[in-house]
Chains A and B, each alone.
Chain A
Amino acid sequence: MSATTPAAPRNLALVGNPNSGKTAVFNALTGSRQKVANYPGVTVERKSGLFRTPAGHTVNLIDLPGTYSLRARSPDEEVTRDAVLGRLSGEAVPDMLLCVVDSTNLRIALRLILELKRLGYPLVLALNMIDIARRRGFEFDLDRLSAELGVPVVTSTAVRRGGVEELLQRVDNLFTALPPPTLQTAEWIAPNSSELRALQREADRILKAAVRVPGRPDTLTGRVDAVLLHPVAGIVILLGIMFVMFQAVFSWAQPVMELISAGFDALGGLVAATLPAGLLQSFIQNGLISGVGSVVVFLPQILILFLFILLLEDFGYLARAAFLMDRIMGSAGLHGRAFIPLLSSFACAIPGIMATRVIDSRRDRLTTILVAPLMTCSARIPVYVLIISAFIPDRHVFGWIGLQGLVLFGLYAIGIVSALAVAFVAKWILWRDAPPEPFMLELPDYKMPRPHNIALALLNRARAFLERAGTIILSMMVLIWFLASFPRPPAGAAGPDINYSLAAMIGHALAPLTAPIGFNWQINVALVPGMAAREVAVAALGTVYAIEGGKEATDKIGQVLAAHWSLATALALLAWYIFAPQCAATLAVIRRETGGWRWMAITVGYMLALAYFASFVTYHVAVALGAG
């Protein structure tokens, strides 16, 4: 009964092909009143938002993942299928479907519409980006299209507010006029290839009757692709774009990151000054504030990285990058689409692992997740920089190459090479007999990115990063603070408190294990807080060697380390840091994304084994060469 009163929110679901501009329509309708969450049990993003129509209906709009067919192939597409069929637990059956199609690319979209129409939903077809299509010479007979399909058709541009007014009008009309739908979702069975063929033929017939397509394809896209997909120039340009992206991630973010960390230091100092020294002060300053600080400090890098990725995606370049890299990645047993997740992992493995959702084959996705933590993330940089500047002489080799920079580059290169090698070995061990998954990808026409959409997407990413990683890292930080603070030192004890704590006990207990790789117990102690976030190990080393913090702390730590460690130990620690599963937040994300402990355990196992092996070899080779 309540469904007929205007006050009850109506459920409207957005359905469409990938690249149809569905999200732009979603943004235009809901503005910033949108909520991003996860569907329970799966890691597919659930985007929803409320808006009010001119006639006063409250509409709950849900943006379903893009799909080519209801015959779902990836976890994303399964959500769309189940939501439309009303089989998604906890999700209301939609009252109406809003189908968004790219006006310049109607052919496959119309087949999906015909598939959806069979389900019996009231349906509105929104021809998106109609302005671009008309400019390119498309002519639409909208009445004919509507009559042939048997659904109301509206045009939308989704850029201006006015672009969706007609759409809202139609939605209102349907909500007011239509009787409750007689759904045939229960009888639905996946269409086979001959049914799909028949639907495609019908779609082609309707398209021919109602739309005049210009003879030549988009010439701009063709001209741009002639360069960007050129077998040689394309790869060179891709490398150039990656280079600029890295420069941006590391150099543009630097001032903001310093500002954030100075802010958190000041906040910690304020707490230290106002609260009496003791457990509470230590918990708030070292546990909470530096815990939150260690996460937030990576936000600028992650936002810059996502800005690039979102721009490239909206522009239509990401699919091209996958196309260009497919063969190269394929030789290591990775899918072309694994390129972007691995690229993101250079900033932080967490967004990288989350980005693997675009890979529809589970096998390829798991391989990518497995090797993503090997890409040198930005949290390793403080540790690398500390050790390199303390132990590697600042001189030039071959007259012009800085040795320190060369070592840093080498550490990155080892990360990349070992990621490819591990992917290759994993494929060979786990899926030796399985033939390769196909690579099938639509290359959408190029489009100018919309600043509004980019801004909203960035906002959502920032929120998701802070919520997801923040809660995990924060709880880890509290645990590690506990390990480093308890038990309390006996009264009148000499040396820093941490030497009496559980962390020190762990460090001493691990000493027999790490002696063969050249680590002393102080390093072991620093590795414990390093589990929360790798770079925390730097501060922990400072604590263990009882160095006061402050501006020149890092320099001072470097001097002390150079006095206490051999070069072999320092090199072994660098080798350890390339491979070790040091970041608890990454492990937690792997567990969540793969849906169990198994893949997390495999990741920890192989990374620990590699780390131990690499530092063992490094240490002993270095000692043999006289660096012990």
Chain B
Amino acid sequence: MAEQALDRTVGIRPLGQAPRGFCGRIESIHVNGHACALSATELETRLVELGFVEGAKIEILHEGMFGRDPIAIRVNDATIALRRREAMAILVS
């Protein structure tokens, strides 16, 4: 398990740091220490509710003018807008 996780960390990064046009898949949802009004479990649950589930196809379609924030993300067949701060919890490859 640990070995497998290690192998797969190659090329894994938070969605919050990905550029516009990035395409990939969700590896895991991992909320850790990003200041947010919601608890870690609540943020994770809300992301799951919007379809951010391991294995889902991801593409960053658009980004805002200031600080390239927020971002519009294609998740399988739906488009969801998020701030980069919350997108840091979504690990993609």
Residues on A facing B (Cβ under 8 Å): 68-69, 71, 73, 104-108, 111, 192-193, 196-197, 200-201, 204, 213, 217, 221-222, 225, 229-232, 234-235, 319, 322-324, 326-328, 336, 361, 363, 434-445
Given A231-B64, A435-B35, A108 and B78 contact (CB-CB distance below 8 Å): yes
> Which residues on A sit within 8 Å (CB–CB) of B48?
193, 196-197, 200
Given A105-B77, A440-B50, A192 and B83 contact (CB-CB distance below 8 Å): no
- Judge if B32 is at the interface, Cβ distance under 8 Å: no
Q: Are A327 and B66 in contact (CB under 8 A)?
A: yes
Q: Are B45 and A231 in contact (CB under 8 A)?
A: no
Minimal Cβ-Cβ distance residue in B for A361: B37
Q: Are A440 and B64 in contact (CB under 8 A)?
A: no
Most buried by B among A221, A439, A445: A439
Given A435-B35, A437-B37, A231 and B63 contact (CB-CB distance below 8 Å): yes
Within 8 A of A (CB), among B54-84: 54-55, 61-70, 72, 74, 76-83
Subset of 18 A-B contacts with CB under 8 Å: A69-B49, A107-B51, A107-B77, A108-B49, A213-B77, A217-B74, A225-B61, A229-B61, A232-B65, A234-B65, A319-B81, A322-B81, A323-B81, A327-B67, A438-B37, A439-B86, A440-B82, A443-B80
> Which residues on B sit within 8 Å (CB–CB) of A434?
37
Q: How far apart are A130's CB and chain B's nearest CB, in angstroms?
A: 15
Q: Are B83 and A438 in contact (CB under 8 A)?
A: yes
Q: Are B62 and A436 in contact (CB under 8 A)?
A: no
Q: Are A323 and B64 in contact (CB under 8 A)?
A: yes
The distance in angstroms between the C-alpha atoms of A434 and B35, with both chains bound, is 9
Q: Are B50 and A68 in contact (CB under 8 A)?
A: yes
Q: Are B49 and A442 in contact (CB under 8 A)?
A: no
Q: How far apart are A513's CB and chain B's nearest CB, in angstroms?
A: 41
The contact of B46 among A213, A217, A438, by CB within 8 Å, is A438
> Which residues on A sit within 8 Å (CB–CB) of B47?
440
Q: Are B80 and A441 in contact (CB under 8 A)?
A: yes
> Which residues on A sit within 8 Å (CB–CB) of B46?
73, 438, 440
Minimal Cβ-Cβ distance residue in B for A437: B37
Q: Are A439 and B70 in contact (CB under 8 A)?
A: yes
> Interface residues of B toward A: which range?
35 or more
- Could you mark each residue 17-45 of chain B with 1 if its beta carbon is under 8 Å from any beta carbon of chain A, else 0? 00000000000010000011110010111
The distance in angstroms between the C-alpha atoms of A441 and B72, with both chains bound, is 9
Most buried by B among A104, A221, A438: A438
Q: How far apart are A211's CB and chain B's nearest CB, in angstroms?
A: 10
Q: Are A438 and B43 in contact (CB under 8 A)?
A: yes
The distance in angstroms between the C-alpha atoms of A438 and B45, with both chains bound, is 13
Q: Are B76 and A441 in contact (CB under 8 A)?
A: no
> Which residues on A sit within 8 Å (CB–CB) of B55?
204
Minimal Cβ-Cβ distance residue in A for B37: A437
> Which residues on B sit within 8 Å (CB–CB) of A230?
62
Q: How far apart are B69's CB and chain A's nearest CB, in angstroms?
A: 6
The distance in angstroms between the C-alpha atoms of A319 and B63, with both chains bound, is 14
Q: Are B61 and A71 in contact (CB under 8 A)?
A: no
The distance in angstroms between the C-alpha atoms of A324 and B49, with both chains bound, is 23
Q: How far apart are A510's CB and chain B's nearest CB, in angstroms?
A: 43
Given A104-B77, A197-B53, A440-B81, A225 and B72 contact (CB-CB distance below 8 Å): yes
Q: Are A443 and B79 in contact (CB under 8 A)?
A: yes
> Which residues on B sit within 8 Å (CB–CB) of A319?
81
Q: How far apart are A150's CB and chain B's nearest CB, in angstroms?
A: 22
Q: How far apart are A553's CB and chain B's nearest CB, in angstroms?
A: 48
Q: Are B35 and A197 in contact (CB under 8 A)?
A: no
Q: How far apart are B53's CB and chain A's nearest CB, in angstroms?
A: 5
Minimal Cβ-Cβ distance residue in A for B86: A438
Q: Are B70 and A323 in contact (CB under 8 A)?
A: yes
The contact of B65 among A192, A193, A197, A235, by CB within 8 Å, is A235
> Which residues on A sit within 8 Å (CB–CB) of B83?
326, 438-439
Q: Are A71 and B43 in contact (CB under 8 A)?
A: no
> Which residues on A sit within 8 Å (CB–CB) of B36?
435-438
Given A196-B49, A438-B38, A326 and B77 contact (CB-CB distance below 8 Å): no
